[in-house]
A and B are shown apart, each in its own frame.
Chain A
Amino acid sequence: MSINKVNIWELAESYLAGSLPQQDVAQLNDRLKTDAVFAAEFNDAVNLIRAATDSGKHKRFRSMVQDISMQQKDAPKAEKKARHILLTPQLWRTAAVAATVAIFTSTVTFWSLKPSLNKTESKYNRISREVTGLKAEQARQLARQKQLEQDLADQAKKSLQPTSDVKTTGTGFALTNNGYFVTAYHVIHDENGYGDSVYIQNSNGQYFKASLVTFDADADVAIMKVNKGGFRFGKGELPYSFPQSKAGLGTHIFTLGYPSEDITYSEGYISSRNGYDGNAMQYTLELPAGHGQSGSPLIDNKGNILGLLTAVGSQLEEKTYAVSTKAIVSLLHKLPDEKKVKLPKTAHIARMSREEQIEKMEAYTVSVKVYKKN
């Protein structure tokens, strides 16, 4: 059976159930790596099925608790005696076995099949913001997980148990007024896989759900679209443009991003034409940036978008790195014709004061929030 011939829902379903044969899993992994449009669609299908399943389980549990609550009220006097009812040992055993099965099936899910991109090095910190303490917890879980999964395929090693919904936040900015925007790929996909859902929050505090259109994991660029029909970032055309030529050394730049709930401005200059480790698709910047600012636009004085922030250096060398606009443009070129995205050509804010530029930019710069069970 070739996975390419199977209905994507059936594929996602058997994938979540862990019933996909090994060779199909390998095939699927290959396709997820190479076909970004398919990967986005598959991820969407997996998330929807998982949400429907979880939501159903929650409903059944909730109605059971309601039922128990009613029953307790009907028999308030039996409460004291009933207090010490214990399950029989036999029932316990079934419970434990069932629990183990549940652990196995739920871990062989999406995270386990996406190989880690493992690009992050110690000197190079991705600047999405995560809930504190998460890393340590992940490490602990990972250790436990490995033990549970030793008979499973090697790929399963990275998988984690759902604990609670964890948020990664980053920044994104509009590519078109009708909902296309760009952010850093690592904001929506970290070493544990994709988030369950991605929302953007605009400067007015409104949330909108978004889905992945395409991505380039190596360049750390993800192109997404707000799902809502008729959505607009702002009133007019986009205020900035996307030149493809590389900006010169010393170019003054500024950025807007969401290191916290509030939009934040910072400025600096291009300190090297190439990025981390001589990466020609990046710039090195002298620009203060912090967690949550991944995916922030890099803008010059004339309102040209030069790139998006991707990472900061180690504490010793406070450098910031940005992916150049070229990576965004070449990614857009790869989209199928029916999904073509046209970038704005003129920067309306070219001659404005910085304060005015920022004001115009605000509506098009959004906070990207990723929810997931880690």
Chain B
Amino acid sequence: MQSPTTTEQELLAALANGQRVATEQIYRQNYHIVSGWLVKNGGSASDADDLFQEAMVILYSKAQDEEFRLTCSVGTYLFAISKHLWYKKLHRQSREPVALYDNTATDEDERTGIAYEDDINAHEEREAHYQQLDAALDQLGEPCRSILRAYYHQDKSMQEIAADFGYTNPDNAKTQKYKCLARLRKIFNAM
């Protein structure tokens, strides 16, 4: 028998690996708590979808860290992050100061409102960084753009890429990939 905590840790480890079954389970177990709260606090159903998706992505980033996985309560974290995301959104819309430190969710651990804010800020910075990288990728010519997308975004192997793009062997495709990376760096650094 596994204790509930072990299960939660393993669930998180699986989520961190991008495994669908675990991600789906975490989604299902927590979505309704968040959407229920949100509707009571002036949000719509589609707000809830967006918000919760964002919270899941933040959880995914955080779950890459083993220390976090050992100490985190998934439900508490997702709920608190969602609340903070929502407060932040309201704050941005209204430009009025909003109390961001909601302590109701922090009883179980020592995380403060500030720590959630930090996670959200880190997430936004990361997203901005990725967006910049995407923009650089968009400026790359072909076949570079497609090769790098296939390798990094679609997680294809060099064998598959060699076959798809008509290279005689994976090594040739690799050489091309390195050239593409060099071009990407030039564009990215100039942004």
Docked Cα-Cα span, A165 to B16, in Å, equals 17
List A contacts of B56 (CB < 8 A). Answer: 61, 65
The yes or no answer to B88 lying at the interface (CB within 8 A) is no
List B contacts of A61 (CB < 8 A). Answer: 18, 23, 56-57, 60
How many residues of B are in contact with the other chain, CB < 8 A?
Answer: 59
Q: Nearest-CB distance from A315 to chain B (Å)? A: 26
Q: Contact check: which of B62, B133, B181 meets A55 at CB < 8 Å?
A: B133
Q: Which chain B residue has the least Cβ–Cβ distance from A67?
A: B20
B189 close to A227 (CB less than 8 A): yes
List A contacts of B175 (CB < 8 A). Answer: 7
The B interface is mostly helix, strand or loop, or mixed, namely helix
Total A-B pairs, Cβ < 8 A: 153
Q: Nearest-CB distance from B83 to chain A (Å)? A: 18
The yes or no answer to B102 lying at the interface (CB within 8 A) is no
Q: Which chain B residue has the least Cβ–Cβ distance from A166?
A: B122
The yes or no answer to B157 lying at the interface (CB within 8 A) is no
With A64-B20, A79-B28, A95-B13 in contact, is A9–B182 under 8 Å at CB? Answer: yes
Mask, B1-34, CB within 8 Å of A = 1, is 0100001001001101111111111011101100
Q: Nearest-CB distance from A372 to chain B (Å)? A: 10
Q: Which chain B residue has the least Cβ–Cβ distance from A55?
A: B130
Q: Which chain A residue has the least Cβ–Cβ distance from B124?
A: A165
List B contacts of A197 (CB < 8 A). Answer: 129
Q: Which chain B residue has the least Cβ–Cβ distance from A49?
A: B181
List B contacts of A54 (CB < 8 A). Answer: 130
How many residues of A are in contact with the other chain, CB < 8 A?
Answer: 61
The yes or no answer to A334 lying at the interface (CB within 8 A) is no
Q: Nearest-CB distance from A227 to chain B (Å)? A: 4
The yes or no answer to A62 lying at the interface (CB within 8 A) is yes
Mask, A183-203, CB within 8 Å of B = 1, is 000000000000011000000
Chain A interface residues toward B at CB < 8 A: 7, 9-10, 13, 44-45, 48-49, 51-62, 64-66, 68-69, 72-73, 79, 82-83, 85-87, 91-92, 95-96, 98-99, 102-103, 106, 131, 137, 140-141, 144, 161-166, 196-197, 209, 211, 227-229, 371
Extra A-B contacts (14), CB below 8 Å, given A66-B53, A227-B191: A7-B178, A9-B181, A48-B181, A48-B184, A64-B23, A65-B57, A73-B49, A92-B14, A95-B10, A95-B13, A98-B14, A161-B64, A163-B68, A371-B129
Chain B interface residues toward A at CB < 8 A: 2, 7, 10, 13-14, 16-25, 27-29, 31-32, 49, 52-53, 56-57, 60-62, 64-68, 118-119, 122, 125-126, 129-130, 133-134, 148, 152-155, 174-175, 177-178, 181-182, 184-185, 188-191
24 contacts between A and B (CB under 8 A): A9-B181, A10-B178, A48-B181, A55-B130, A56-B154, A58-B126, A62-B53, A65-B23, A65-B57, A66-B53, A72-B28, A92-B2, A95-B13, A95-B14, A98-B14, A99-B13, A102-B16, A163-B68, A164-B65, A164-B119, A211-B189, A227-B189, A228-B190, A228-B191
